[in-house]
Amino acid sequence: MQRVVIIGGGQAGAHGAMHLRARGFMGEIHLVHAEPGLPYQRPPLSKTFILDESPPESLDFRPAGFYEKERITLHPTKAVAIDRARGEVQLGDGTGLAYDALILALGAAPRPLPGAPSSLLMLRTREDALRLRPRIAASREVLIVGGGFIGCELAAALAGAGRKVRLIEAQDEVMQGRVSPLTARLLREALEAEGVEVLRAARIAAWDEDGLGVRLADGRALRADLLLAATGVAPETALAAEAGLAVSPSGIEAGADFRILDPAIFAVGDCVFAHNLFAGGPVRLESVQHATDSARHVAELLLGASAPYRKVPWFWSDQGKRRLQIAGLIAGCDAFRIEGDPGAMSFSVYGYRGEELRCVESVNRPADHIRARKALTEALDAAS
Ligand SMILES: Cc1cc2nc3c(=O)[nH]c(=O)nc-3n(C[C@H](O)[C@H](O)[C@H](O)COP(=O)(O)OP(=O)(O)OC[C@H]3O[C@@H](n4cnc5c(N)ncnc54)[C@H](O)[C@@H]3O)c2cc1C
């Protein structure tokens, strides 16, 4: 194996490259990184970075100089096509980059919202956050559309910074389907106690042209001096589809080892819809853990390892003073048990499928989370 090309310098791409080198890969590593600056982490964007004055480089995984020292060649451009017959990636700067192995770490992008104005503000990249900072600084009232993890994080952060926040959620509850009904309710009530007005089952019928207001299906008109959409992302699949690889709206289709139809190509991170041992079927996971672990797994395969991927998914979301940590997956859980003190915002919700523990959601209970990860990992190892 002479040359590994990784498309996408996000969480997965950068960690795949770093892992390959750290584990002794001697060949060339090329990282095609389309965003400005060096590869960086996204989680602080919705928690602290939009509000503070920290420089953009504070989010970088590694300082300038690291990539040169580790002989990881950064290509600051987009990959525009994959020529599988020639084993070459065509770059936006007009050059071609031959590969022996290709890793697609393309991530995901905010899902387009039908009828929304093009000026609508969303948060996925560091550039988005830098654009948002002065708008937030100048705002007093904020409308957030979408009560998923990022919408709830933004609501908590902005309310904590003194903004009047209204959170519009189309479903009956925030984070629906992502956490247990109990955890969702408790975290929503905590937001409300901090002054966030949460409008549930609130469907948007029309968007104001200027991107600062909406009309709900029940006729209510809502406006603010800042409106942010946090309505979820769709996996980046176009490049793979154009190269004739199997894709669906769920992502680039891959087997348990992130291998796709073409034996020289792998897909990792937010863009992949892969069979997952813990889930017992194909899933697309959006988390730092999955991006990092899937990329490291592929790096290990390229170095000759053959052990199957058997990681228990885990995730965290900081919502103001509340740190939610999730071990396992909520899908399929039919019974829940709570431990701790919800009134003091320190509790864990244990989710079961039948008798089997499948998911533990801990709020400000890091020790429970660590124990849960260990228990779920041991159970997975014992079962497979
Ligand atoms: C605001 C925010 C907060 C988050 N908070 C948390 C959190 O608290 N906890 C958690 O676990 N997860 C969190 N996440 C999710 C986590 O950041 C993602 O799951 C993770 O970044 C996925 O890594 P990735 O490498 O697959 O994709 P990304 O990090 O999205 O990286 C993909 C990269 O590929 C590039 N790319 C795409 N197409 C091309 C192309 N053709 N050529 C070149 N480059 C290309 C993109 O520009 C991007 O830089 C958060 C995400 C966001 C946006």
**Any residues with Cβ below 6 Å from ligand 1, and which?**
7-13, 32, 34-35, 42-43, 45-46, 78-79, 105-108, 123-124, 150, 236, 239, 269-271, 286-289, 291, 315-317
Instruction: Assess if residue 157 is contained within a domain.
Output: yes
Nearest CA to ligand 1 atom 31: 10
- The DSSP element (H or E) to which 183 belongs, if any, is helix 181-193
CA of residue 376 to ligand 1 center, whole Å = 26
Helix (H, G, I), strand (E, B) or coil at 342: helix
Low-confidence ranges of the chain (pLDDT < 70): none
Total domains in the chain come to 3
Shortest-distance Cα residue to atom 3 of ligand 1: 43
Among 270, 284, 297, the mutation site with the greatest number of ligand 1 atoms within 8 A of its Cβ is 270
**160 and 193 fall within a common domain:** yes
C-beta separation of 90 from 83 below 8 A: yes
Give, using CA atoms, the residue closest to atom 15 of ligand 1. Answer: 287
pLDDT, position 350? 98
> Which of 200, 229, 258 corresponds to the end of one domain?
229
Nearest protein Cα to ligand 1, atom 35: 8
Q: Is the dihedral of CA 156, 49, 323, 108 positive or negative?
A: positive
Question: 234 CA distance to ligand 1 centroid (A)?
Answer: 11
Domain assignment present for 191: yes
Same domain, 167 and 214: yes
Q: Which helix (H) or strand (E) holds 288?
A: helix 288-302
Distance from the CA of 13 to the center of ligand 1, in angstroms?
A: 9
Cα(213) to centroid(ligand 1), Å: 28
Q: Are both 127 and 169 inside the same structural domain?
A: yes
Q: Are residues 52 and 140 in the same domain?
A: no
Q: Report how far ligand 1's centroid is from the alpha carbon of 107 (Å).
A: 5
- Of the chain, the end-to-end C-alpha distance in Å amounts to 31
Of 178, 200, 229, the last residue of a domain is: 229
Judge contact between 214 and 222, C-beta under 8 A: yes
> Do residue 124 and residue 224 come from a single domain?
yes
Regarding whether 152 and 135 lie in a shared domain, the answer is: yes
Q: Which of 40, 78, 77, 64 is nearest to 236 (CA)?
A: 78
Q: Which atom of ligand 1 is nearest to the CA of 13?
A: 25
Specify whether 71 is located in the same domain as 138.
Answer: no
pLDDT score, position 325: 98
Range 332-340, long-range pairs (CB < 8 A, 24+ positions): 332/358, 333/180, 333/358, 333/359, 336/180, 336/181, 336/182, 338/182, 339/368, 340/365, 340/368
Alpha helices in 194-263 (DSSP H): 238-242
Q: How does pLDDT run across 6-28, given as a tens digit for each residue? A: 999 999 999 999 999 999 999 99
Would you call 148 helix, strand, or coil by DSSP? coil
CA 269 to ligand 1 center in whole angstroms: 8
What is the span of the domain harbouring residue 329?
A: 321-383
In a domain, 316, yes or no: no
CATH of the domain at 363: 3.30.390.30
Closest CA to 175 of 133, 132, 146: 146
C-alpha of 359 from chain center:
19
Cα–Cα dist 83/313, whole Å:
33
In a domain, 207, yes or no: yes
Phi and psi (nearest 5°) for 35? -85, 155
CATH number at residue 132: 3.50.50.60
pLDDT score at 64: 87
Same domain, 178 and 135: yes
Q: Is residue 311 part of a domain?
A: no
Residues 117 and 212 in one domain: yes
**Residue 61 falls in which region: left (phi positive, over 0), alpha (psi -120 to 50) or beta:** alpha
